[in-house]
Amino acid sequence: MRVNEKYSTLPAEDRSVHIINICAIEDIGYLPSEGTLLNSLSVDPDAECKHGLYFRDGRRKVDYVLVYHPKRPSGGRTLARRVQHGDVTPAARGARQDQPLPGKGSVGAAGGPEPPMDYHEDDKRFRREEYEGNLLEAGLELERDEDTKIHGVGFIKIHAPWNVLCREAEFLKLKMPTKKLYHINEPRGLLKKISSVLQKITDPIQPKVAEHRPQTTKRLSYPFSREKQHLFDLSDKDSFFDSKTRSTIVYEILKRTTCTKAKYSMGITSLLANGVYSAAYPLHDGDYEGENVDFNDRKLLYQEWASYGVFYKYQPIDLVRKYFGEKIGLYFAWLGVYTQMLIPASVVGIIVFLYGCATVDENIPSMEMCDHRQNITMCPLCDKTCSYWKMSSACATARASHLFDNPATVFFSVFMALWAATFMEHWKRKQMRLRYHWDLTGFEEEEEAVKDHPRAEYEARVLEKSLRKESKKKEKRRCIPEESTNKWRQRVKTAMAGVKLTDKVKLTWRDRFPAYFTNLVSIVFMIAVTFAIVLGVIIYRISMAAALAMNSSPSVRSNIRVTVTATAVIINLVVIILLDEVYGCIARWLTKIEVPKTEKSFEDRLIFKAFLLKFVNSYTPIFYVAFFKGRFVGRPGDYVYIFRSFRMEECAPGGCLMELCIQLSIIMLGKQLIQNNLFEIGIPKMKKFIRYLRLRRQSPPDHDPYVKRRQRYEEDYTLEPFAGLTPEYMEMIIQFGFVTLFVASFPLAPLFALLNNIIEIRLDAKKFITELRRPVAVRAKDIGIWYNILRGVGKLAVIINAFVISFTSDFIPRLVYLYMYSENGTMHGFVNHTLSSFNVSDFQNGTAPNDPLDLGYEVQICRYKDYREPPWSEHKYDISKDFWAVLAARLAFVIVFQNLVMFMSDFVDWVIPDIPKDISQQVHKEKVLMVELFMREEQGKQQLLDTWMEKDRKKDEPCNNHGPKACLDSPEYPGGAL
């Protein structure tokens, strides 16, 4: 007799579906449910399971799915192995461990000879059997489906019954809405009129979602308790726990349920890592497009959130939270607030840019540089191949520099520093509102409990360490009598049976020292690689400028600076994009070898490493142009060389700010266009196409998975797994750095960031709805470590902008000239004041121009940008006193600007309260209402108790008044005497 025949309760023709009734376990605190795992065969298969969203009976919803690759072992071998491992499982599970799960395509259902299977696949199968048996004991209901439209893939559908949901909701302290309704404080008087007017104005840009409408009432929430079920509205038990909450509860059970047939305890994360299961995920609510598709939250989100046609509307954040959970909801809420705050920054940036355009013809320094009558001859830009050149040839660069180097940019830097502080305060207030509306006000204690849950890799490493210690003790006890050896074996068996050792044995810094050392060396090496690449680009710029200077075409020689700058920036952009992907993978690998204890610790360490590497990678070329280019050039006749042949680069006559603007704009726009948009669109679609080709190749010709309509769990299996929010946050934080760190050189950065984010929101939304499997909902009260990173970038932006204005732009030299050296109180003569003179006879041997008559006349004195003594001075070519005056003014400006802006930012932080007043009042009101509710409940109990006591007292009165005989004759004592 085959195994499946032994337990079959159906006729032979219907043995593909097995029916068993699994009773609940009384000792874990819930009651047995009727009809558990009972399948209905009288309904059409496509209708009864509602395209995979329900079990085959059409009543029980699929809350989670486990995916595996089934193999077909021999029947006799299967039974033998089951008997062999029967002693591992408790007696309560042993009775049902040998029974296959109900559903289609259970193992062994097919007739005929079956191919042999290797040991590893056999071991995976029995791990699955034990794990699924433990899930049944935990109260979950399972159904297997191996006869799927995806060849070689099996599915375990999981349903959590009502009693399990109640039990777990109580364990997790999930806040659920009670029957108690109360009115939210509404604005009165003038504020009410203003809010109503704003509501009418903004109505066209509001999403057509019920959750987004302004609410006047709110249900009082309280952590769910089975003892206080009467407080909650349980009229519709099917919708009391939504799909997000149900999948979260099932995932918590999957995490803590273990399989001990391996050498150590394995939860779902370890089983996935070891290939026992190939995937585990909750289901989407249904299809998102099509005429005959039932309306669901996924389709509503696709229409009102993930469509590019609604880019002008607000996001339905409450519906996003309802579908994906608080953590993902907070990300999109933060992204929406950040995008809204970019609107005023973009408007001010455009005004600053237009001010530069309007005043370019009134700028005296650029007019002097463009004046051909000045006839200022400049020193060569490179040795030998470069000749003397006229300053008027740099007229276009000087005029363009004024667009970004004018007094308005100083104001814009101050504005953006205050903008960053206001944005952080605005987000804190928005976060508090969301925390109140999402019932997360008392979440801190519960979150700490989640943080302390050890990761599977950490537990495996701890068990490995403990077993290694035991083996060392065994070596020392070889001469000890047999009794001690038996005790040692017993301890090892206990450990192998899944005893949690993380409380007794911990990983110390000695265990992690190799990983820490590897992290340090790797990070230093990768930063050095970034610097080496920047140095390589510098050498490319220098050599390319020298090569183009030798070109015979006048047009090529006149556009040397533009050509070299543009090509070098493109090279930098390509390198940055490539290294970003490499550094992301390396940061994850470095974090894994550290073996952090908790998921929270793992995420924080990964974010820190990835942000450090990507920050250095993205901003190093910009830092070079801003603070190092043109600073260590030397002077004619005494230039600074690298590798003894390459002369350091000089800034253009108008300063390096224009080049910094070009560098920043190309890198920022390139990263947004290529990395943030094309990669996010192209890579998921490419992976989806590859999976489609793989499924077509694996499926037989008559088993095409794309011919028949697949079930919901089959559709979701072909989607891309959710990889976390770290990449999404990272690209926005890097963009925030571009917007704030060097905003003095590029006032249009907020505008380009705004345009990108309008697309980014819908792009991310579409990816979450259509391209990714539904992630497990995770509760969170804030955005975590990202808030601290944002604050750090905002503080750093103040310092960097102070140095950019002071040392990169000509703002300070102009002020010094205007108030110290100008003869008539204007900027006339400023250009000549910033140029020093050099006698061409003082050139070093072999560095003078090969063609000194290129301009048509002999040059005796050439000019270069620096503050040095002239050649006819007693201390020729020494640094002049003007240099020290300008340097002192620059340092003074940095100190004043930094402290003033920091003070103003802290003042904004102090003036704006973190918690809105109305929210604090509502939280206090909720606490008062909760106390009143429980006081009323206690009063009701007391009244009921008093009523019972009064009845008992009245019953006892006849006995007290008429003696024992009357009591014996009373109706309470039938039959008379005892």
Over 80: is that where the pLDDT of 64 sits?
A: yes
Nearest to 398 by CA among 153, 183, 653: 653
Per-residue HEC secondary structure of 519-551 comes to: HHHHHHHHHHHHHHHHHHHHHHHHHHHHHHHCC
Separation CA 123–CA 727 (nearest Å): 36
Strand order in the sheet with 389-390: 389-390, 377-378, 861-865, 835-839
Separation CA 739–CA 746 (nearest Å): 8
Amino acid at 509: W
Q: Is 873 helix (H, G, I), strand (E, B) or coil?
A: coil
Q: Residues with Cβ < 8 Å from 64, sequence gap 6 or more?
A: 157, 158, 247, 250, 251, 254, 280, 281, 282, 283
Neighbours of 663 (CB within 10 A): 26
Residue 921: pLDDT band with limits 50, 70, 90: confident
DSSP 817: I
Separation CA 321–CA 326 (nearest Å): 5
- Mean pLDDT for the stretch of residues 735-740: 91
Q: Is 157 helix (H, G, I), strand (E, B) or coil?
A: strand
Separation CA 632–CA 807 (nearest Å): 13
- The residue among 45 and 131 whose pLDDT is bigger is 131
Q: How far apart are the first and last CA of the chain?
A: 64
Q: Is 701 helix (H, G, I), strand (E, B) or coil?
A: coil
For residue 199, the model assigns a pLDDT of 78
Q: How does pLDDT run across 236-286, given as a tens digit for each residue? A: 888 888 888 999 999 989 888 877 765 556 678 878 877 888 899 999 988
Separation CA 634–CA 610 (nearest Å): 38
Long-range contacts of 202-206 (CB under 8 A, 24+ apart): 202/314, 205/312, 205/313, 205/314, 206/313, 206/314
For residue 109, the model assigns a pLDDT of 40
Residue with structure tokens 């070098």? 568
Over 50: is that where the pLDDT of 972 sits?
A: no
Residue 733: pLDDT band with limits 50, 70, 90: very high
Residue with structure tokens 């270069």? 864
For residue 413, the model assigns a pLDDT of 87
For residue 94, the model assigns a pLDDT of 39
Separation CA 887–CA 812 (nearest Å): 9
For residue 82, the model assigns a pLDDT of 35
Nearest to 143 by CA among 128, 133, 158: 158
For residue 569, the model assigns a pLDDT of 87
What is the percent of the chain with per-residue pLDDT over 90, rounded to a whole number? 15
- Cβ distance 959 to 966 under 8 Å? yes
Per-residue HEC secondary structure of 170-205 comes to: HHHCCEEEEEEEEECCCCCCHHHHHHHHHHHHHHHH
Nearest to 519 by CA among 585, 455, 616, 586: 586
Residue 874: pLDDT band with limits 50, 70, 90: confident
Neighbours of 12 (CB within 10 A): 7
State which H helix or E strand residue 624 sits in.
none
Alpha-helix runs per DSSP H in 359-481: 364-370, 395-404, 407-437, 444-451, 456-476
Q: How does pLDDT run across 775-809, given as a tens digit for each residue? A: 998 888 888 889 999 999 988 998 998 898 888 88
Residue 39: pLDDT band with limits 50, 70, 90: very low
Nearest to 474 by CA among 503, 507, 466: 466
Separation CA 79–CA 83 (nearest Å): 6
Separation CA 713–CA 284 (nearest Å): 8
Nearest to 735 by CA among 428, 328, 338: 338
Over 50: is that where the pLDDT of 10 sits?
A: no
For residue 888, the model assigns a pLDDT of 93
For residue 282, the model assigns a pLDDT of 92
For residue 344, the model assigns a pLDDT of 94
Q: What does the radius of gyration of the chain's CA atoms come to, in whole angstroms?
A: 37
Residue 960: pLDDT band with limits 50, 70, 90: low
Over 50: is that where the pLDDT of 67 sits?
A: yes
Residue 525: pLDDT band with limits 50, 70, 90: very high
Neighbours of 870 (CB within 10 A): 13
- The residue among 18 and 419 whose pLDDT is bigger is 419
Q: Is 910 helix (H, G, I), strand (E, B) or coil?
A: helix
- On the 0-12 / 13-18 / 19+ scale of CB atoms within 10 A, 712 is buried
Over 80: is that where the pLDDT of 117 sits?
A: no
Residue 854: pLDDT band with limits 50, 70, 90: confident
Q: How does pLDDT run across 187-243, given as a tens digit for each residue? A: 667 777 887 787 788 788 888 887 667 677 778 888 888 888 888 888 888 888 888
- The residue among 829 and 939 whose pLDDT is bigger is 829
Cα atoms found within 13 Å of the Cα of residue 513, Cβ hemisphere only: 4
Q: What is the DSSP string of 709-754?
A: PPPHHHHHHTSBPP--SHHHHHHHHHHHHHHHTTTTT-TTHHHHHH
- The residue among 903 and 4 whose pLDDT is bigger is 903
Q: How does pLDDT run across 177-190, given as a tens digit for each residue? A: 888 887 777 666 77
For residue 957, the model assigns a pLDDT of 65
Helices 560-594/657-670 angle, 10° precision: 50
- Mean pLDDT for the stretch of residues 853-865: 84
Specify which residues 378 forms β-bridges with: 389, 863
Nearest to 576 by CA among 566, 587, 568: 568
For residue 485, the model assigns a pLDDT of 45
Nearest to 657 by CA among 814, 827, 807: 807
Residue 23: pLDDT band with limits 50, 70, 90: very low
Residue 444: pLDDT band with limits 50, 70, 90: low
Q: How does pLDDT run across 319-338, given as a tens digit for each residue? A: 999 999 999 999 999 999 99
For the record, the structure tokens of 906 come out as 């802290």
For residue 118, the model assigns a pLDDT of 63
- Cβ distance 288 to 770 under 8 Å? yes
State which H helix or E strand residue 355 sits in.
helix 326-358
- Mean pLDDT for the stretch of residues 471-499: 55
Over 70: is that where the pLDDT of 835 sits?
A: yes
Over 80: is that where the pLDDT of 4 sits?
A: no
Q: What is the mean pLDDT of the chain?
A: 77
Q: What is the per-residue burial (b if ≥16 Cβ within 10 Å, else e) of 26-56?
A: eeeebeebeebbbbeeeeeeeebbbbbbbbb
- Cβ distance 893 to 864 under 8 Å? no
Q: Within its chain, how far is the Cα of 529 from the centroid?
A: 26
Q: How does pLDDT run across 68-115, given as a tens digit for each residue? A: 888 755 444 433 333 333 333 333 343 344 445 665 554 434 444 444
Cα atoms found within 13 Å of the Cα of residue 521, Cβ hemisphere only: 6
What is the percent of the chain with per-residue pLDDT over 70, rounded to a whole number? 79
Residue 49: pLDDT band with limits 50, 70, 90: low
For residue 398, the model assigns a pLDDT of 80
